[in-house]
Amino acid sequence: MPAYRAPRGTRDLLPADRVALARLERLAADLAARYGYHPIETPLFEQAAVFERGIGAVTDVVEKELFLLAPREEDGERWALRPEPTAGIVRAYVQHGMQTWPQPVKLTMTGQMFRYDRPQAGRYRSFWQFDVEAIGDPGPAVDAEIIELASRFYAATGLVDVTIYLNSIGDAACRPAYVAELAAFYREHVGELPALEKARLERAPLRLLDSKDARVVALNATAPKITERLCDACAAHFASVRAHLDAVGVRYVLNPYLVRGLDYYTRTAFEVYPAGDEGQQSALGGGGRYDGLVELLGGRPTPGIGFGLGLDRILLALDEQAAPPAAEPGPIAVVVGADPAATAERLRIATTLRAAGLVARAELGQRKLGKQLEAAARDRAHFAVIVGDELADGQVQVRDLEAGTQKLVAVDDLVRELERARTSHHHGQAQPS
Ligand code: HAM
């Protein structure tokens, strides 16, 4: 048992996992750019108040899961690791006067978030999100555009069969009366509520709607539904979001019980689950509209909408789907040698290849040529450049490890030869056997 281990709820991403995550990061960045989102990077920590005010003090994320940093005397501030990106991005929007930029300001960020959650499968204390935010557009068309972007991202990852659940949770005009009606409904049935739900009833009655407890699920079937209590403006907005989704061919399932875990949401709310699995741990992503958040964090009243997609969970779902891992191409060449001690020559030739932009590995150990060639094949290198006696005449042997052929090539021609082979042989496109 090693003395030191990664903290509970975190994990090291070893190369295979890091490569898989990097693929999702690239997909996210490419797709977001295609839809006109610009990258932003905010600090991993903020004043705790940004999250307490933004996300809401009476939410699990703030109340139970916020990673507070031990304060240092000199700064008399309370800091917290970011549990999500939206509050920090909106803080940056206000701080940098982005309301004077052409609206909407469309921003994207992919990075690590921190929640002091109870660790379990798919629930980590440090996890990755792909986030987009469109700030300054009241919708409803942009709502549909964002949901379509999310659905395109899942498809691009290779995940088949995800379900998008959609709801409108109203706004300051219609939600308070609904919440009061809902709380009254639960109070009438308080005897049927388990302890946890009873405790939540007075503080956050909406949260009971997405309870997974069978008794509450049964009770909820008769509870008043927000979609039947929307004010005219929210109802018209919701109808139009749906019409726009239909226009772009995005399939979704209406779910009047969908409420989000963060307080800043208004109107459009959505979550994505693997088909057939709506367990609370498995949301692959979620988002919605937050028309009051900019003002809450000190800006002028400004609407906004965005999503956060959980990359760790997408990777787990891809594993479960047994999708073949994305194979990284091996090096174009491994430079090996008949004289195990001639490491300087091998290093020099590999250095020349790398300086020309080729991916090359040099065999710098002292093992025999046969072992070096075996390792080159294991690396899925396309060629072995064999440095031997011919070097005295300025030549090396180039063995095509896939075709099994070999020829003499002048060292001066090596870069050109490998470049040509790389394009004509489609290096890196074959799947490993
Ligand atoms: P969220 O629903 O709290 O929303 O998180 C979004 C996604 O992050 C979840 O659906 C899940 O896939 C992933 N996630 C959350 N917690 C964990 C965890 N402990 N371990 C692994 N994955 C996790 C937000 O964070 C909002 N900021 C989304 C948003 C952006 N709304 C508007 N703009």
**DSSP letters of 307-328?**
EEEEHHHHHHHHHHTTPPPPPP
8-state DSSP, 217: H
Q: Is the pLDDT of residue 327 over 70?
A: no
Beta bridge partners of 361: 334
Check residues 59 and 95 and name the one with the higher pLDDT. Answer: 95
Instruction: Tell me the C-alpha distance between 270 and 383, whole Å.
Output: 50
Instruction: Tell me the C-alpha distance between 142 and 241, whole Å.
Output: 8
Determine if ligand 1 sits within 6 Å of the CB of residue 313: yes
pLDDT one-digit tens code per residue, 162-211: 999 999 999 999 999 999 999 999 999 998 888 888 888 888 889 899 88
Q: What is the pLDDT of residue 325?
A: 60
Q: What is the mean pLDDT of residues 358-364?
A: 92
Distance 328 CA to ligand 1 centre (A): 28
H helices within 40-124, ranges in order? 48-55, 60-63, 86-95
Determine if ligand 1 sits within 6 Å of the CB of residue 312: yes
Q: What is the pLDDT of residue 60?
A: 84
Q: Is the pLDDT of residue 78 over 80?
A: yes
Q: What is the mean pLDDT of residues 346-369?
A: 92
Q: Is the pLDDT of residue 329 over 90?
A: no
Distance 377 CA to ligand 1 centre (A): 41
Nearest CA owner, ligand 1 atom 16? 123
Q: Are the C-beta atoms of 135 and 107 separated by less than 8 Å?
A: yes
Determine if ligand 1 sits within 6 Å of the CB of residue 273: no
Asked if the bond preceding 2 is cis, omega within 30° of 0, the reply is: no
- In what helix (H) or strand (E) does residue 410 lie, and over which residues does it extend? strand 405-410
Nearest CA owner, ligand 1 atom 32? 306
Determine if ligand 1 sits within 6 Å of the CB of residue 303: no
Q: What is the pLDDT of residue 237?
A: 98
The CA angle 198-199-205, to the nearest 5 degrees, is 75
Distance 224 CA to ligand 1 centre (A): 27
Q: What is the pTM of this model?
A: 0.90
Determine if ligand 1 sits within 6 Å of the CB of residue 128: no
Q: Is the pLDDT of residue 222 over 50?
A: yes
Beta bridge partners of 387: 337
